[in-house]
Amino acid sequence: MSGPLVVVGDALLDIDVEGTSERLCPEAPVPVVDVGREWQRPGGAGLAALLAARSAAEVVLITAIGADESGARLASLLEGEVELCTQPLDGETPCKTRIRAAQQSVARLDRGGGRASRRALDDRTVSVLRGAGAVLVADYGRGVADHPQIRELLAEAATRVPVVWDPHPRGGAPVPGARLVTPNDSEAVKFSGADADPDELAKALRDKWNAHAVAVTLGSKGAVLASGDGVRRVPIPNSAKVAASLRPDTCGAGDRFASAATAALFEGAPLADAVATAVESAARFVAAGAATAVSQPVDETEPEPVSDALEFAERVRRRGGRLVATGGCFDLLHPGHVSLLRHARSLGDALIVCVNSDASVRRLKGPTRPVVPAADRVRVLAALESVDAVAVFDESSPAALLEKIRPDVWVKGGDYAGTELPEAEVVRAHGGEIVLVPFVDGYSTTRLLEGVSHG
């Protein structure tokens, strides 16, 4: 029986401060962001381990975490998700805070320059590495993967199990014999010292690092794989593509690529198949909201978006607020959705989004939908500033859910004009009104997917 999938690298605490920005600061031409919500998640190797746990039953993370507040929060976020094997950290736990408005980052604040200690490893860490069934090195240049003793153990592991290395320009070179090294295109240029074609970069880096294979990731263009079988392009399959016009958040896409490739190799997949799986997994991860989909609210007193939606509705009513609700599949979130949600939120004091379950979407849209699972769709919607709560319903119509929520306003897209909504009777029975909001021209999930499949 093989050992666990082991992730080795530098874990960070990632924070997103979400807000709105409608004006510039009078002292300087910089945006003023009115803070709405704050979210946190493991970053770096912590995110890679969290994502690996989606594909492998047993994941152990070897990392360095400081004895400070950021370290405690990071450890808490990982607890119950992966097994931690921590090393001493010299300095503060790294923390990266993105300031975001309108789904765009406007600034990033970095603090905590801690680096992994060079002290000798404990027996447990040595045992974990020697018993690994596969290893993912998520190097973020802060010393864990560059620890001399860890490097020796990684070099030994590469002779018997798959070792996937996600390198960093400030980190050490991958150990010889790595099964797969996964730089992105800009990193590949830095590592090679030449601004060449990705095919040439992949071949050159494979030779330079004495690796079995190198996959240079190319964002929306997939990846290029250089191995003993030559060089091949690995495109994103049509079913997993995201329209470029959506300007998606790609934070964590590289970690998803590397973790999916490692998990596939861990399960015995051939190299080319593992890279194809990784390309598709990374694309679907971005479509689902990327790293924001695995974030948690910093304020633990905030209600959970699904289980507490009805309680939230009651609180809004008790304080005399005007409750707005809208609903739909929200499969691939696009500008039309965002415009609808913002308009809906402007009609009252709070907005609850009613989301079709996966089974409900399949009944409405066919067996190939949804593209994004319900849990991920809920995460993405809940992360939006305009959304206060999310509830999932399993029926084809949200009528039963609306019977419980009893919104003052029910909002639907303008494409429903001239039709009688099946839930209209329920909304009006509780004194609610129905408002149709125009969609942004040219956007629909179905149309986007059809355009991709014929493109």
Query: 132 near 157, Cβ under 8 Å?
Result: yes
Structural tokens at position 416: 């429903």
- Select from 351, 392, 347, 345 the least CA-distant residue to 370: 392
| Whole-number Å distance between alpha carbons of 309 and 203 | 53
Catalytic annotation on 255?
Answer: yes
Instruction: Pick the catalytic residue from 14, 166, 249, 255.
Output: 255
Structural tokens at position 42: 């493991």
Beta strand 389-393 pairing with 350-356 = parallel
**Beta-bridge partner residues of 89:** 116
In sequence order, the 6+-apart residues with CB closer than 8 A to the CB of 300 are none
Instruction: Report which residue type is found at 266.
Output: F
Active site amino acids: 255
